[in-house]
Structure 1
């Protein structure tokens, strides 16, 4: 963040009058500017959209979307919940909330599909299928993703440990014996969890393979992982959008299931008998009743 801000400050004297207005707005309101389109930023500061586009070019970006993306990447772990609410309010304006949020989630999946590293994805599949033990950790909102993975991985493997997160010390007690034949799967999105990052670093130091499901190569989790699965997450709202990360987790489960099809079929045949015997699921009523 400091690099981009410093660049804007150093270039400020040579900007045109309109560009100086844009620069000052970004310096003072970077949390909001990062989520404004070129036309809305121009309208906010009183300049044309073309002036905003030229401003981005003056800073060395191919276009305004690249500048906007750079701002978003650099601040995504800095916004407080209050700031996120303010940004969300500005972005929504008077638009329909349901339509806006669902379209944003669709965009997150589309962007994830376009940018995800297929080699990293396959590397994660291979690491998981060859692991002695699999440890999964996600805290706060990411715990939903960890629980989803843990549920299905327990059907696919007999060596899965979903870490409980009541305290930092408890996490390390659970991964005390992690080693070179094991895999640690860490999940976190802005604002990034220190507990998850610390546990990932410990696992890596012990020789375990480390997988990260996170949102950006700038994420601290990415630097601590052997395999990085990137899924876009719209963090402008006070609610973390986990639609794209959930889709990546779903794809990972399916890929592993396909690679172990014979074993999986036996497992689910056994499960179907158990579910039937213990009346786990509601049965469809007989026709005519």
Structure 2
């Protein structure tokens, strides 16, 4: 298991390399993460219908010396997921020596590089394929802060393709979105620690309605990962009381860039119509910014 990678992400990515019995353990863990991993070896083995030795071999394959070491790592993840802004800030500071602006940008650059190095490219490509296919309506949601990034993604996609909507955080808007959701819908969900329970419920309902769920989250993984078809993690650490959204914005822009490239100019007519109607509603005919 690579440093900085969540157990959920590691298990999900390595499933094909497990034996048949180990895959049973993996499925139980992914279906009830992280609670299943906090059970005893005997309890997890019973739920997975395998032997205790299979569970031990499974955690060893993940890189842990023992089952207690596996659980300690998992407990650390749980604590990291639930940290408050103040507790995250304690002991953090900008790198010394540089101007504060240069130091902050250095941290952000490190975050972008790490995000790219850990990005599951096959899942990114699948997300681009779905976002480019106009047969798939797109809805995007987020939490208190991440909804700003979800809205930003939609503002760009709306100029490239039809049937793309941002869904606000209020219950009425999300209820309407679920009522109109079909099996072809792509639900793009942004959710970062401390995770939004209402967003988890929306994603779960969307999955039950047959929608494909694309989750953009932190390395600790939102609970939405349990129902997501595609998971794209980004780094969020930053030396302030608040997590950084920079990598989430960068990933969103990378998705739009890849969608634009994949559509290969086929969005031109749609963009022309968009600009035509936009100009009729505003004296400002410049590019949106």
TM-score (ref. length: structure 1)? 0.66
Q: C-alpha distance in 1, partners of 2:236/2:94?
A: 21
CA distance in 1, matches of 2:275, 2:178: 33
* Larger RCO: 1 or 2 (CA < 8 Å, sep 6+): 2
Of 240, 245, 256, the match for 1:242: 245
Once the two structures are TM-superposed, the CA of residue 74 in structure 1 deviates from its matched residue by 3.6
Query: Which of the pair is proportionally richer in helix?
Result: 1
Check the 8 A contact 1:92/1:100 in 2, yes or no: no
- Deviation string for 1:32-78 (max 9, x for gaps)? xxxxxxxxxxxxxxxxxxxxxxxxxxx859xxxxxx99786443321
| SS at 1:91 equivalent | coil
| Cα deviation, residue 258, structure 1 | 1.1
Q: Equivalents in 1 of 2:35, 2:284: separation in Å?
A: 60
> Counterparts of 2:255 and 2:88 in 1: how far apart (Å)?
30
Q: How does 1:43-54 map to 2 (within 5 A)?
A: none
Residue aligning to 1:116: 119
Pairs within 5 Å for 1:101-180: 101-130=104-133, 131-166=135-170, 168-180=171-183
Among candidates 262, 273, 283, match of residue 259 of structure 1: 262
Segments of structure 2 that go 5 or more residues without pairing to the other structure are 1-33, 40-63, 67-71
Number of residue-to-residue matches in the alignment: 223
Q: CA deviation at 1:276?
A: 7.4
Q: Does 1:84 align with 2:99?
A: no
1:225-256 Cα offsets, whole Å, 9 max, x none, are: 10111111116632220111111100100111
Q: 2:199 aligns with which of 196, 200, 219?
A: 196
Give the C-alpha shift of residue 270 in structure 1. Answer: 4.9
Question: Aligned in 2, Cα 1:243/1:69: closer, same or farther, shift over 3 Å?
Answer: farther
| Bigger-Rg structure (1/2) | 1
Determine the structure 1 residue equivalent to 2:215.
Answer: 212
Does structure 2 conserve the Cα–Cα contact (< 8 Å) formed by 1:141 and 1:240?
Answer: no
The alpha carbon displacement at 1:173 in A equals: 2.9
SS in 2 for 1:79: coil
CA contact 1:137–1:146 (8 Å) conserved in 2: yes
* d(CA) in 1 for partners of 2:74, 2:216: 20
Q: Distance in 2 between matches of 1:174 and 1:276?
A: 28
What's the offset of the Cα at 1:3? Answer: 11
Long gaps (5+) in structure 1: 7-58, 62-67, 283-289
Residues 259 and 94 of structure 1: CA distance in aligned 2, closer, same or farther (over 3 Å): closer
TM-score, length basis structure 2 = 0.66
8 Å contact kept, 1:105–1:243: yes
Superposition CA RMSD, Å: 3.5
- Which residue does the alignment assign to 2:285? 280
